[in-house]
């Protein structure tokens, strides 16, 4: 049914997802691919509002409502953006997806990954699993250093950036576990190296598609 390819970029805050995603999009386009670049949360008109509710710092949702807001954003995004693009044969390249929900909203917030929650995640994504997921593996300490220099450059940090170290470690462990359980789909990329080396590894993985 889906003719295109669905590729997600995952990893902790500051692991280089957006940097690598943009380079990957440029590379795929140079290969003649029809590419749609997108992100979560917030890449639909409703999603933009949900993103503001989640990340402005104005509110402190309890873990359950935070999870449900992310899933609302995903349902909207999959149906309105991702599925139509795949059906049109595009390569959809998405900055964060369900693995981030598992890592941040479940593991990070210490919500037990019950069967019902697992089912809800699949339901929100309407069964749409990525063809390939790039996990940018950057230890929490290295990420913290990068984020510090980014803030120094004047970028406003959002609420999630300010979470405690223990939270980020739980997120990291979760990504690591996801990679082990789904090693065919999720490719681990050592994100400690320079930008060009990381990009070259990503291209090797995507060439297999
Ligand atoms: N391989 C690298 N080596 C050194 N610095 C890097 C590397 N990749 C990215 N950076 C820098 O680290 C910072 C974080 O990168 P980026 O914004 O791409 O991460 P991200 O995973 O998208 O973060 P977020 O989760 O906050 O969206 C940026 O300042 C970026 O320029
Ligand atoms: Mg980013």
Confidence check: pLDDT of 160 > 70: no
User: Is any ligand 1 atom within 6 A of the Cβ of residue 18?
Assistant: yes
Confidence check: pLDDT of 140 > 50: yes
Tell me, what's the pLDDT at 1?
A: 47
Contacts of 203 (CB under 8 A, 6+ apart): 24, 27
Nearest atom in ligand 1 to the alpha carbon of residue 155 is 29
Residue with the smallest CA separation from ligand 1 atom 29 is 150
Q: What is the pLDDT of residues 170-187, one digit of tens each?
A: 999 999 999 999 999 999
What is the Cα–Cα distance from 121 to 177, expressed in whole angstroms? 17
Tell me the β-bridge partners of 91: 5, 35
- Is domain 5-207 classified as CATH 3.20.20.70? no
User: Is any ligand 1 atom within 6 A of the Cβ of residue 40?
Assistant: no
Confidence check: pLDDT of 158 > 80: no
Strands (DSSP E) contained in 2-82 are: 5-10, 35-39
This prediction's pTM: 0.94
Nearest atom in ligand 1 to the alpha carbon of residue 11 is 21
User: Is any ligand 1 atom within 6 A of the Cβ of residue 125?
Assistant: no
Nearest atom in ligand 1 to the alpha carbon of residue 193 is 1
Confidence check: pLDDT of 157 > 70: no
**Interval between CA 183 and ligand 2 midpoint (Å):** 23
User: Is any ligand 1 atom within 6 A of the Cβ of residue 65?
Assistant: no
Confidence check: pLDDT of 91 > 50: yes
Q: What is the pLDDT of residues 93-129, one digit of tens each?
A: 999 999 999 999 999 999 999 999 999 999 999 999 9
Nearest to 121, CA basis, from 95, 91, 100: 100
Across 75-88, average pLDDT: 98
Q: Is 161 exposed, middle or buried (0-12, 13-18, 19+ CB in 10 A)?
A: middle
User: In the chain, pLDDT over 90 holds for what percent of residues?
Assistant: 86
Tell me the β-bridge partners of 134: 9, 187
Tell me, what's the pLDDT at 146?
A: 82
Confidence check: pLDDT of 13 > 80: yes
Confidence check: pLDDT of 159 > 60: no
- The residue among 26 and 146 whose pLDDT is bigger is 26
Domain ranges of the chain: 5-207
Confidence check: pLDDT of 206 > 80: yes
Average predicted confidence (pLDDT) for the chain: 94
Tell me, what's the pLDDT at 147?
A: 78
User: Is any ligand 1 atom within 6 A of the Cβ of residue 21?
Assistant: no
Tell me, what's the pLDDT at 35?
A: 98
Confidence check: pLDDT of 6 > 50: yes
Across 34-56, average pLDDT: 97
């Amino acid at each position: 049914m889906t003719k295109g390819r669905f590729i997600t970029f995952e990893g902790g805050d500051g692991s280089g997802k957006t940097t690598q995603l943009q380079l990957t999009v440029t590379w795929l386009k140079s290969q003649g691919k029809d590419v749609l670049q997108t992100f979560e949360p917030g890449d639909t008109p409703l999603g933009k509002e949900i993103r503001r509710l989640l990340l402005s710092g104005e509110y402190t949702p309890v873990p359950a409502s935070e999870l449900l807001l992310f899933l609302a954003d995903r349902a909207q995004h999959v149906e309105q953006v991702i599925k139509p693009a795949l059906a049109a044969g595009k390569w959809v390249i998405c900055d964060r997806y369900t693995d981030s929900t598992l890592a941040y909203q479940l593991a990070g917030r210490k919500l037990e990954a019950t069967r019902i929650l697992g089912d809800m995640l699949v339901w929100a994504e309407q069964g749409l699993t990525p063809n390939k997921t790039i996990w940018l593996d950057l230890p929490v300490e290295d990420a913290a250093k990068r984020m510090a220099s980014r803030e120094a450059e004047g970028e406003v940090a959002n609420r999630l950036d300010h979470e405690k170290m223990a939270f980020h470690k739980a997120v990291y462990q979760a990504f690591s576990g996801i990679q082990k359980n789904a090693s065919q789909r999720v490719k681990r990329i050592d994100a400690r190296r320079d930008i060009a080396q990381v990009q070259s590894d990503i291209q090797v993985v995507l060439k297999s598609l």
